Amino acid sequence: MSLKSKINTEFLPKHIAIIMDGNGRWAKKRGFTRVFGHRNGVKAVRVTVEAAVELGIQALTLYTFSTENWNRPKVEVDTLMGILVNSLKKELKVFQKNEVRLQTIGNIEKLPLKAKRELKEVIDKTKDNKKLILTLALNYGAREEIINATKSISKKIVNNELKIEEIDENIINSHLYTFTLPVVDFLIRTSGEKRISNFLLWQIAYAELYFTDVLWPDFNKEDFYEAILNYQRRERRFGKTSEQIENSNK
């Protein structure tokens, strides 16, 4: 029996976030520069998107370029931006075929002009697609996101548009980049590292976390299915006891 056939399509995470880690180590193991790893990581993105569409996942968010990544060597940053532009051009047909709607979170205004132009074009061309919302986290940092949300809420209080007493989870959610997306149910990180790296800190408060030793360029559909099966074997309690969950399901 294949892994895919074991998946219960009635119990899927609505929103999966992935920290795509291990490109550099994958390349180093093969005697190449980190750039070679980034180029080969594009294939893993494609097969993961296709697998998500096939299963019926609603939203997939990929940690593509963090605010901290600007600190990497310039040649690597420039190459990453080039890969982004070229990948968007090549993958547009795949997005259209699979009904994938592209969007971004983060401060994309700091990206190179060519990257911004290509992003906006693909976002516009896929805006009516219905099957999967694919979100690229670009120049993204969760702490910066929370700071920006705090500033926006503070301005509304100063302008008497909002009262302090009205601030709750819904208000904060509505000021985050991800306000149009379902809550993150499941976070996957490849390469064996077990940390969050400033990614969706607010949004993953109750997400299930899954860490795999597979380096990102090697991540394939079977690895994705294995992750989903792992998710489905878990009991999501949200602070309740197992007994409470069991009684609520009766």
For a pLDDT cut of 90, what percent of the chain falls above it?
Answer: 89
Is residue 80 in a domain? Answer: yes
Residue 15 CA, distance from chain mean position? 9
Is residue 2 in a domain? Answer: no
Q: Which pLDDT band, with edges at 50, 70 and 90, does 75 fall under?
A: confident
Q: Where are any strands of DSSP class E within 38-180?
A: 59-66, 100-105, 132-140
How many C-beta atoms surround the C-beta of residue 247 within 10 A? Answer: 10
Q: Is the confidence at residue 12, as pLDDT, over 70?
A: yes
Q: For residues 132 and 101, is the Cβ–Cβ distance under 8 A?
A: yes
**DSSP at 71:** G
Q: Is the confidence at residue 161, as pLDDT, over 80?
A: yes
pLDDT in the model for residue 236: 65
- Residue 19 neighbours by CB under 8 Å, 6+ apart: 63, 187, 188, 189, 190, 196, 197, 199
Catalytic one of 8, 21, 40, 168:
21
pLDDT digits (tens, 9 = 90+) for 61-70: 999 999 999 9
- Residue 150 neighbours by CB under 8 Å, 6+ apart: none
**Tokens 């060519």, residue?**
114
Tell me what the mean pLDDT of segment 180-188 comes to.
Answer: 97
Question: Which has more pLDDT, 58 or 249?
Answer: 58
Is residue 3 in a domain? Answer: no
Distance CA 79, CA 85 (A): 10
Q: What is the CATH number of the domain that holds 135?
A: 3.40.1180.10
Tell me what the mean pLDDT of segment 2-10 comes to.
Answer: 95
User: What's the chain's average pLDDT?
Assistant: 93
Number of domains in the chain: 1
Q: Which pLDDT band, with edges at 50, 70 and 90, does 193 fall under?
A: very high
Q: For residues 17 and 198, is the Cβ–Cβ distance under 8 A?
A: no
Domain carrying residue 172: 10-248
Q: Is the confidence at residue 246, as pLDDT, over 70?
A: no
pLDDT in the model for residue 174: 97
Tell me what the mean pLDDT of segment 121-142 comes to.
Answer: 97
pLDDT in the model for residue 79: 87
Q: Is 21 a catalytic residue?
A: yes
Q: For residues 101 and 127, is the Cβ–Cβ distance under 8 A?
A: yes
pLDDT in the model for residue 241: 52
Q: Is 69 a catalytic residue?
A: yes
How many C-beta atoms surround the C-beta of residue 78 within 10 A? Answer: 12
pLDDT digits (tens, 9 = 90+) for 16-58: 999 999 999 999 999 999 989 999 999 999 999 999 999 999 9
Catalytic one of 8, 69, 107, 247:
69
Is residue 21 in a domain? Answer: yes
What is the length of the chain? 250
Is residue 22 in a domain? Answer: yes
> 134 - beta bridge partners?
60, 102
Is residue 214 in a domain? Answer: yes
| Rounded (5°) CA angle 72-62-188 | 105
Is residue 1 in a domain? Answer: no
Is residue 4 in a domain? Answer: no
Q: For residues 4 and 48, is the Cβ–Cβ distance under 8 A?
A: no
pLDDT in the model for residue 239: 56
Tell me what the mean pLDDT of segment 191-211 comes to.
Answer: 97
- Residue 161 neighbours by CB under 8 Å, 6+ apart: none
